[in-house]
Amino acid sequence: MIIVIKNGCDKKQLDNLTSWIEKQGLRIDRSNGENTQILGLVGDTSKVDVDLIQSLDIVESVKRIQEPYKLANRKFHPEDTIVDVAGHKFGGNNFQIIAGPCSVENEKQIIGIANAVKAAGANILRGGAFKPRTSPYAFQGLGGDGLKLLLKAKEETGMPICTELMAEKYLDLFEDVDIIQIGARNMQNFDLLKTVGKTKKPILLKRGLANTIQEWLMSAEYIMSEGNPNVILCERGIRTFEPYTRNTLDLSAIPLLRDLTHLPVIVDPSHASGIAKLVAPMSLAAVGAGTDGLIIEVHNDPPHALCDGAQSLRPEQFEDLVKKIDVMLPLVNRERK
Amino acid sequence: MIIVIKNGCDKKQLDNLTSWIEKQGLRIDRSNGENTQILGLVGDTSKVDVDLIQSLDIVESVKRIQEPYKLANRKFHPEDTIVDVAGHKFGGNNFQIIAGPCSVENEKQIIGIANAVKAAGANILRGGAFKPRTSPYAFQGLGGDGLKLLLKAKEETGMPICTELMAEKYLDLFEDVDIIQIGARNMQNFDLLKTVGKTKKPILLKRGLANTIQEWLMSAEYIMSEGNPNVILCERGIRTFEPYTRNTLDLSAIPLLRDLTHLPVIVDPSHASGIAKLVAPMSLAAVGAGTDGLIIEVHNDPPHALCDGAQSLRPEQFEDLVKKIDVMLPLVNRERK
Amino acid sequence: MIIVIKNGCDKKQLDNLTSWIEKQGLRIDRSNGENTQILGLVGDTSKVDVDLIQSLDIVESVKRIQEPYKLANRKFHPEDTIVDVAGHKFGGNNFQIIAGPCSVENEKQIIGIANAVKAAGANILRGGAFKPRTSPYAFQGLGGDGLKLLLKAKEETGMPICTELMAEKYLDLFEDVDIIQIGARNMQNFDLLKTVGKTKKPILLKRGLANTIQEWLMSAEYIMSEGNPNVILCERGIRTFEPYTRNTLDLSAIPLLRDLTHLPVIVDPSHASGIAKLVAPMSLAAVGAGTDGLIIEVHNDPPHALCDGAQSLRPEQFEDLVKKIDVMLPLVNRERK
Amino acid sequence: MIIVIKNGCDKKQLDNLTSWIEKQGLRIDRSNGENTQILGLVGDTSKVDVDLIQSLDIVESVKRIQEPYKLANRKFHPEDTIVDVAGHKFGGNNFQIIAGPCSVENEKQIIGIANAVKAAGANILRGGAFKPRTSPYAFQGLGGDGLKLLLKAKEETGMPICTELMAEKYLDLFEDVDIIQIGARNMQNFDLLKTVGKTKKPILLKRGLANTIQEWLMSAEYIMSEGNPNVILCERGIRTFEPYTRNTLDLSAIPLLRDLTHLPVIVDPSHASGIAKLVAPMSLAAVGAGTDGLIIEVHNDPPHALCDGAQSLRPEQFEDLVKKIDVMLPLVNRERK
C-alpha cells in the first residue's frame, strides 16, 4: 500500500499515523519527492482500511498495491480451479454450456426444453423458480413449486440443474440443486454470500450491474473465506450510458480475470442485451475472449407462445449455435466433454 | 404503452399479439406511419411485461407511457407524504438532519457523539451496527451489540435512531429502531424489501449505485405494496467514470423526484464522495436542490483517533454547517422543527 | 414521433402545439389514455427538434420512432455498403486487417513494421503522424514529416495507408492517404466531419468515448450528407466505471449496427483496454461478434525498445493472431481477399 | 510516479527500465514488498508516458503521484486566478451570472433578452451563433450573422458577450467577443485548444461529457501552455446510465476543483438536464457547492413562441432566481459586483 502524504503536513499527525501503521505489524519504506512524501507499507495490508486512511487530513491519496483478495488470487494459487458439477468440469481446458428457460412454467415446458437443449449439446439445465423482478407486480416465478419441477426435469433427463437463490430462508429447498446462482442484484448481499459460503455447492456468482472486477472478486472471497472454494464467476453485462442495450457485456473482463484469479469464468449473453438476436454473435464473441462456458436462455415456443415464431433462442437456433461454438473451441484450447 | 411494430411484419403474428393484448383487458389505438405501425395500449399496463413484448420478432421497440409505479406515484397521490419519526416529520415543508458516526464503536463514543450532534441541532441519531463491507476481512460492525449501544444512546438522549438492516434474520433486533435503513447494495434485495414492507416502520431506502430513478421508485413500490407507506428515499451517489470521487452525487434526482413521487427525499453527502471536505459544500448544494433532509456522518475524534485532528466532520464543523443550513432553509420553503 | 401530453394541460397551448406540428407538414394521430393523451406524428420527423418540444410545459415526454439518420439507415438502403480502399473491400462478406504502429517514428521503423505486418497478412498500414494526446507535454507525433514517412512506406510496400486527421488545416497533406481516420475525440467535431464529407475518401469514423450508437450514426450522417458515402465505423471502447481497463470495448455494438446501418463496422481492440495482452482475445471476440475487420497496433521492438521483449503485439504475435482469425472467418461468413 | 514491478520479473528487463528512467533525469527510490517491488520516481515526471511504461511486460501497474498539469495546478500557484471580462471578475470572492438565449434568432429577440437579463441582474450576455448539433439536419445557428447580432446587442446594452467557437477558421470573427466558449464536444479538440491558447481572451472551457476532472485540467493546460492564462472552467453534466436527465450535473467537481486548481469554475445548469424546471433548483445547488458563477439560458417567449407560456426560464423566472442567489451568496463568501 502506498500512502501519499500532503506537502507541509503536521509532523505530529504524521508521527501518529506512522506509529499506528507500525503497530499493525507493517514496515514503512519512505520516499521523499519534491512536493510529496510517500509511505510504502510492506506486509499484509489486506485488513488495512483504505477509506480510514484516505480520510486523514494529512493524506493526499492512498493506493493498494497488493490486491485485497487472497483466496481468489492467482498469485497465491497459480493453477486453475476446477469446479466439478456432477462430473461436468468448469475451468482448465473444459468448456460447459448451461441452457434452459428464463422461468420454469410447468412440467411439460421444463422437461421439453431440458430434452431439447440436452439433444443440442447442453450439459446443465438452467431455469428460474425464484425470479428477481424490478416490479412487485411482475411475475415472481413459481418459487418452491418451480424448484420441484426443475428437480423433476433433472430426474427425467439426468442433467444437473442451476437456479437462483434469492434469500437465506429458501436454502433448505436447494439441497438437490447442483449449482446455486447468486444473481447480479445480490452480488453484494454479504449475508447471502456468507450463507452459500457455508455450503460446499458450486456457486455461480454473477457480476453486479455496477460492480468493478475487484469488487466481484471480493464477493467471491466472501464465499471462499467461509470455506467454499467452488465459485464460478459469470459476466452478464454492466451499466453504461448506451440505451440500445439493457447492459453492456464486458468481454474484456474474461482475459483480465484469467490473470487475476484461478476461478472459472463464464458468460451470460442473454441477459446483457435483452435482445434475442444478439445471443448468438455475443456467444461466439465470448468464446473468442476465452470464456470457460456459457449460460444461455432457450425458449420452447409451442407451450408458451404469445405469437408463433416469437421468442428466441429457440432450440433449433441453439443447436446451430452449439455447432459453431464447437468449431471455435480448439482455437481457444477448450473442449466440451 | 406504445409498441412499434416492424415494417412488413407477419400479419398472423401481429394478430396473435393484438388478441393477446386485448385479452389482458387493454384497448389498442393504432397509428400507421410511413415505415412503421404503432400500437397504443390504453388501460392499466403496469403488469404488462415489457421485456416479453420487446423480445417478439415483429416488435421494433416498446415504450412505457404510464409509469410502472402506482403507490409511489404523485399522479395518484398529489399531496406530499409526511413520514413521522417519533414526532420528527419528513416531507412537506419539514427539514430533518440525521447525524452520527459511521460505526458504533463503544458506549462512550456513541453517547458522546449523540450528545454532540443533538447540541448542534440534529434530531435523529445514525450509527452503523451491521456494516456492509466490500471485503470479508474488513470490520463488519458490532452487530447486535452495536444495536444495544445505539438503543442505550437513544435512551440517554431521547433521540430516535436510524440504522441499517442487512438481512431478514436480524429483524427482531430492530423492534426499537425508529428508522430502518436499507443500504444501497440491498436496494434490489427484493425479499428484504418485502420483509420491511410488512412492518409499519419508517424505511430509509438508499438509491443503489447503478440504479435509475425509476428502479428506485419500483423498490419503494415493493415496500409500499406490502402495506408500509412510510418510505423515505435517500440519494447517496451513483457510479460514473469519474475516479476522483467514489461516487457522483446526483442532486438533480431531488427536483425530478419531487414531480414523480410524493415520498420525502433526503441526501447523504458523506458516502458519495468518500471525501470529508466535500460534505459541507455538498450539504448546502443538496439544500439548494430542495432536499427534505440530510444524513451526515459526524466523528468524535478523541475516543477514536488515529491522529489528532484527523477525520471530519467533527462536531464543531457539523455545528457550523447546521448554522449555514438554517440560513438557507427559508429560501427553499423548509423549516426545522 | 410520439408526444405524451400532460394530464389536464392547457387546451390553448395544446392547440398551439398541434397547429405548429401540422404546419410542418405532419399528420397527427391521437390516442387518449386514462391519464395521458398521446400524439403520434406521421411523416418525415427527422428535422423536428425533440428538445424544443420536450421543453414545453404541456409535454410529459417525447420519443422518436423514426430514426433521425436516413443516409446511414439500413431501412432505406437494405444492401451492405462496400467501401473500396485501393481494391481492398470493407463490408459484405469481406474482412480486412489494418495494422501498424501507434506512432510513426522514423523511416526504418515504419518500413520495417509495414513489411512485417504485410508478411503476416495485413492489407492496410496504419500509423499515427498527428497524435491526439491528453497532455500538451506528451509527444504529439511527427506531424507532416510523419505523414511523408508513411507515404514512403506505402510506396515501398504497396500497402494503402490509414492515418488520423486532427484539423481541417492539415487536409491538403492527406491527398495520398487512403483512409482518413477521425479519432474518438473528434467524433462530434462537426466542422471536421463536414470537411471530410466534402472529399470522396474512405473515412474511418471512430466511436466517441461517451457516444451512443445513435449519435455515432448521426456523425456518419454528417459525412454522408455532404456527399461522401464511404464511411467505415470503428468501435474502440466506451467510458464506464470499471478502472482495470481504460475503456470497455462494446462488442454488442457490432450486431446491433448490422441491423441499424448498411455501413461496414470494424473494431480496434488495441486502444480500448490499453493492455497489450488483451489484444489477441478481444480480436477473436470481435470476429465472433461479426466485425468487418480489425485495426491493430503492432510494434517492432528493436528500433524502439525500452526493454527487450517489452511491448506487444510484436509481429510474430500478430502473425499468430491472423492465423487464428483465418480459421474463424468461415464461421461468420467472412473471407480475407 | 510509482511503478509496481511484477514478481519474478526478468532482471535484465528491469535494469533496462531503470537505466532508461535514470536517463530521463529521475531518481529511483525502491521498496521491496513480499510479492512486489515498487519503484518510486522522484523528479519532474510530467513528460513520462504512463501508457508506455504500463505496456511493459514486467510492469504490474503505474500510478502518477504528481499531477500531470502544472500551470493549472494550485500547488504551484496557490492564489485564485482572477479572470477579468471587461471589468467583471471571475474567481476569488466574485460571482458572475452569464445569461441569454440558446440561439441568436434575430435582432429583436437578442436585444430583448439582453435587456431583460441585464435588468434582472446578469452581467454578461450569452447566445449561440455557431451551434453544435448532433444532427446535420437540425438548425446549425445563424453563424457569422448571428455573431453580428450578438455584437449589436453588446453595443446596445454594454454587456460583454460570450459565445462558442467551433473551428479555427471562424476565429477572425471573434475579435470583439469577450469570452470564447469551447463546447463540451470540443474539450479534447487539441488543435482548437492550441488556437485559443494563442489569444489572450478569456476562454470558457466546458467539461466534456465523458471527461474526467484530470483530463479537463489537462485541456486547460493546453490553453495555458500556449500563453493564455485566462481559463474559466464550466461544469455542464456528465454521461451516466440515468435516462431521466440528458446528463448528470456533477456538482462535487466544484469543491474538488477548488483544491486542485486556482482557476475559476462556473456551472451551466441548463444543459445538463435538458429540463427547464431543474434550472432553478440546480442553480441554487451549484451556489451551495461553491461555484464562481452560473451560465443560464433565458428565453423570451413572444418572438419565439410555439405556445404561450411554454419554454422557460423566462425572464421573470430568471429574475426570481437571481434574488434567491443573492440571499445565498454571503453564505459561500461570494458577492456580485
Same domain, C229 and C109: yes
In this predicted structure, the answer to whether residue A304 has a pLDDT above a threshold of 50 is no
CATH number at residue C287: 3.20.20.70
Environment class of A11 (CB within 10 Å of its CB; exposed 0-12, middle 13-18, buried 19+):
exposed
Which residues, 6 or more positions from C27, have their beta carbon under 8 angstroms from its beta carbon? C41, C42, C43
In this predicted structure, the answer to whether residue A270 has a pLDDT above a threshold of 90 is no
C36 touches chain B (CB under 8 A): yes
pLDDT (average), residues A38-49:
83
The full 3-state SS of A144-165, as one line of letters, equals HHHHHHHHHHHHHHCCCEEEEC
When divided into structural domains, chain D yields a total of: 2
Q: Do B27 and B40 form a contact (C-beta atoms < 8 A)? A: no
Q: Do C190 and C218 form a contact (C-beta atoms < 8 A)? A: no
Ordered strands of the B37-42 beta sheet: B27-32, B37-42, B2-5, B59-63
Same domain, B84 and B153: yes
Domain boundary pick from A19, A44, A63: A63
Q: Do B279 and B320 form a contact (C-beta atoms < 8 A)? A: no
Q: How far apart are CA C262 and CA C268, in angstroms?
A: 19
- How many CB atoms lie under 10 A from the CB of residue C330? 10
Q: Do C32 and C19 form a contact (C-beta atoms < 8 A)? A: no
D240 touches chain A (CB under 8 A): yes
Residues B51-61 pLDDT 10s: 778 777 788 88
D274 touches chain B (CB under 8 A): no
Of B301 and C76, the structure prediction assigns the larger pLDDT to: C76
Nearest chain C CA: its distance from B334 CA (Å): 26
φ/ψ of B176, rounded to 5, equals: -100, 10
Q: Give the nearest chain B residue to A170 (CA atoms).
A: B191
Residue A69 maps to a domain: no
Q: How far apart are CA B211 and CA C172, in angstroms?
A: 49
C66 contact residues in B (CB cutoff 8 A) = 33, 35-36
Domain boundary pick from A39, A63, A87: A63
D172 touches chain A (CB under 8 A): no
Which residues, 6 or more positions from D332, have their beta carbon under 8 angstroms from its beta carbon? B284, D287, D288, D290
In this predicted structure, the answer to whether residue C146 has a pLDDT above a threshold of 80 is yes
Q: Quick one: pLDDT at residue C72?
A: 97
Torsion of CA C234, C240, C242, C244, to 10 degrees: 30
Question: Which residue among B31, B44, B239 places its CB closest to the CB of C40?
Answer: B31
Q: Give the nearest chain A residue to D259 (CA atoms).
A: A60
Q: How far apart are CA C285 and CA D98, in angstroms?
A: 49
Pairing of strands A293-297, A96-100: parallel
Q: How far is CA B284 from the centre of its chain?
A: 19
User: How many helices (H) and strands (E) are present in chain A, helices listed first?
Assistant: 11, 14
Same domain, A153 and A202: yes
Same domain, A88 and A203: yes
**Cβ within 8 Å, pair A273-C252:** yes
A274 touches chain C (CB under 8 A): no
Q: Do C56 and D311 form a contact (C-beta atoms < 8 A)? A: yes
User: Percentage of chain C surpassing pLDDT 90?
Assistant: 64
A245 touches chain D (CB under 8 A): no
Same domain, A221 and A285: yes
Residue D337 maps to a domain: no
Positive or negative, the Cα torsion across D327, D330, D332, D335?
A: positive
A56 touches chain D (CB under 8 A): no
Nearest chain A CA: its distance from B61 CA (Å): 10
Q: Which of residues 281-310 of C touch D (CB under 8 A)?
A: 306-310
φ/ψ of D161, rounded to 5, equals: -120, 150
Same domain, C290 and C231: yes
Residue A155 maps to a domain: yes
Q: What stretches of D183-228 adopt beta strand conformation (E)?
A: 203-206
B328 touches chain D (CB under 8 A): yes
In this predicted structure, the answer to whether residue C302 has a pLDDT above a threshold of 50 is no
C214 touches chain B (CB under 8 A): no
Question: Which residue among C36, C61, C65 places its CB closest to the CB of B4?
Answer: C65
**Cβ within 8 Å, pair D2-A63:** yes
Please state which of the ranges A180-184, A298-302, B318-322, C321-325 shows the lowest mean pLDDT.
A298-302
D221 touches chain B (CB under 8 A): no
C: neighbours with 3+ CB pairs under 8 Å?
Answer: A, B, D
Q: Quick one: pLDDT at residue B204?
A: 98
**Cβ within 8 Å, pair C240-B241:** yes
- Of the residues A213, A251, A259, A277, the best mutation for testing chain C's interface (the one with the most C CB atoms within 10 Å of its CB) is A251
Which residues, 6 or more positions from C303, have their beta carbon under 8 angstroms from its beta carbon? C105, C106, C108, C109, C112
Same domain, A117 and A144: yes
Q: Do B242 and A21 form a contact (C-beta atoms < 8 A)? A: no
- Upper half-sphere CA count for residue A318 (Cβ side, 13 Å): 29
Full DSSP string of A28-84 = EEEEE-SS-EEEEEES--TTS-HHHHHTSTTEEEEE--S-S-STTBGGG--SPP-EE
Q: Coil, strand or helix: which one is B177?
A: coil
In this predicted structure, the answer to whether residue B311 has a pLDDT above a threshold of 50 is no
Residue A337 maps to a domain: no
Q: How far apart are CA A320 and CA A237, in angstroms?
A: 24
Q: Give the nearest chain A residue to B225 (CA atoms).
A: A136
Q: Do C236 and C207 form a contact (C-beta atoms < 8 A)? A: yes
- Of the residues D50, D65, D77, D240, the best mutation for testing chain A's interface (the one with the most A CB atoms within 10 Å of its CB) is D65
Same domain, A234 and A312: yes
**Cβ within 8 Å, pair D239-C210:** yes
Same domain, D291 and D209: yes
**Single-letter code of the amino acid located at A122:** A
Q: Do D291 and D274 form a contact (C-beta atoms < 8 A)? A: no
Same domain, C43 and C115: no
Same domain, D13 and D41: yes
Prediction ipTM score: 0.92
Nearest chain B CA: its distance from D142 CA (Å): 32
In this predicted structure, the answer to whether residue C163 has a pLDDT above a threshold of 60 is yes
Confidence of residue B250 (pLDDT cuts 50, 70, 90): very high
B243 contact residues in C (CB cutoff 8 A) = 243
Q: How far apart are CA C1 and CA C327, in angstroms?
A: 45
Question: Which residue among A75, A210, A240 places its CB closest to the CB of D35?
Answer: A75
Q: How far apart are CA B35 and CA B41, in angstroms?
A: 20
- Kindly report each contact of residues D84-91 with a partner whose C-beta sits within 8 Å and lies 24 or more positions away, as own/partner: D84/D202, D85/D124, D85/D160, D85/D178, D85/D179, D85/D202, D86/D160, D86/D178, D88/D123, D88/D124, D88/D160, D88/D337, D89/D337, D90/D202, D90/D232, D90/D264, D90/D266, D90/D292, D90/D293, D91/D262, D91/D263, D91/D264, D91/D292
Q: Quick one: pLDDT at residue C301?
A: 60
Q: Quick one: pLDDT at residue A273?
A: 66
B47 contact residues in A (CB cutoff 8 A) = 137-138
Residue B68 maps to a domain: no
Same domain, C26 and C149: no
Kindly state the helix (H) or strand (E) to which residue B22 belongs, with its residue range: helix B11-23
User: Percentage of chain C surpassing pLDDT 70?
Assistant: 95
Residue B165 maps to a domain: yes
Q: How far apart are CA A161 and CA A118, in angstroms?
A: 12
Nearest chain D CA: its distance from C123 CA (Å): 26
Q: Do D164 and D182 form a contact (C-beta atoms < 8 A)? A: yes
Q: Do A97 and A124 form a contact (C-beta atoms < 8 A)? A: yes
B: neighbours with 3+ CB pairs under 8 Å?
Answer: A, C, D
Q: Give the nearest chain A residue to B190 (CA atoms).
A: A132
Q: How far apart are CA D318 and CA D311, in angstroms?
A: 12
Residue D69 maps to a domain: no
CATH number at residue A50: 3.30.70.1140
**Cβ within 8 Å, pair C250-A248:** yes
Q: Give the nearest chain C residue to D167 (CA atoms).
A: C191
Nearest chain C CA: its distance from A172 CA (Å): 36
Q: Quick one: pLDDT at residue B307?
A: 40
Nearest chain D CA: its distance from C175 CA (Å): 20
Q: Give the nearest chain B residue to A224 (CA atoms).
A: B136
Confidence of residue C247 (pLDDT cuts 50, 70, 90): confident
Residues C212-242 pLDDT 10s: 999 999 999 999 999 999 999 999 999 998 8
**Cβ within 8 Å, pair D65-A32:** no
Please state which of the ranges A143-147, C194-198, D20-24, D224-228 shows the lowest mean pLDDT.
D20-24
Q: Quick one: pLDDT at residue A305?
A: 45
Angle between helices A279-289 and A253-260 (to 10 degrees): 30
Nearest chain C CA: its distance from A320 CA (Å): 11
Confidence of residue B304 (pLDDT cuts 50, 70, 90): very low
Q: Coil, strand or helix: which one is B142?
A: coil
Q: Give the nearest chain D residue to A32 (CA atoms).
A: D42
Domain containing D90 equals: 74-332
**Grid coordinates 473500396 are at which residue?**
C84
In this predicted structure, the answer to whether residue C299 has a pLDDT above a threshold of 90 is no
Environment class of A243 (CB within 10 Å of its CB; exposed 0-12, middle 13-18, buried 19+):
exposed
**Grid coordinates 456523425 are at which residue?**
C219
Q: How far apart are CA A219 and CA C149, in angstroms?
A: 52
Nearest chain D CA: its distance from A317 CA (Å): 32
> Of B258, D126, B261, D310, which Cα lies nearest the Cα of C54?
D310
**Cβ within 8 Å, pair C56-D311:** yes
User: Percentage of chain B surpassing pLDDT 70?
Assistant: 95
Q: How far apart are CA C65 and CA C3, in angstroms?
A: 11
Kindly state the helix (H) or strand (E) to which residue A99 belongs, with its residue range: strand A96-100
Angle between helices D279-289 and B253-260 (to 10 degrees): 150
Residues A51-86 pLDDT 10s: 778 777 788 888 888 888 999 999 899 999 999 999
Q: Quick one: pLDDT at residue B333?
A: 95
Residues A154-171 pLDDT 10s: 999 999 999 999 999 999
Question: Which residue among D245, D259, D288 places its CB closest to the CB of B288?
Answer: D288
Q: How far apart are CA D122 and CA D116, in angstroms?
A: 9
Q: Which stretches in chain D have pLDDT values below 70? A: 34, 272-274, 301-312
Q: Quick one: pLDDT at residue D273?
A: 66
Q: Quick one: pLDDT at residue D274?
A: 66
> Of A44, A103, A98, A93, which Cα lies nearest the Cα of A69?
A44
Pairing of strands C124-126, C96-100: parallel
Q: Quick one: pLDDT at residue A303?
A: 35
Q: Quick one: pLDDT at residue C43?
A: 85
Environment class of B70 (CB within 10 Å of its CB; exposed 0-12, middle 13-18, buried 19+):
middle
Q: Coil, strand or helix: which one is A179?
A: strand
Q: Give the nearest chain D residue to C57 (CA atoms).
A: D310
Which residues, 6 or more positions from D199, have their beta carbon under 8 angstroms from its beta carbon? D171, D180, D228
Torsion of CA C144, C148, C151, C155, to 10 degrees: 170
**Cβ within 8 Å, pair A7-D63:** no
Q: How far is CA C98 from CA C119, C141, C237, C289, C336, in A?
A: 13, 20, 17, 18, 12
Q: How far apart are CA B14 and CA B9, in angstroms?
A: 7
**Cβ within 8 Å, pair A65-D38:** yes
Confidence of residue A311 (pLDDT cuts 50, 70, 90): very low
C278 contact residues in A (CB cutoff 8 A) = 252, 255-256
Residue C41 maps to a domain: yes
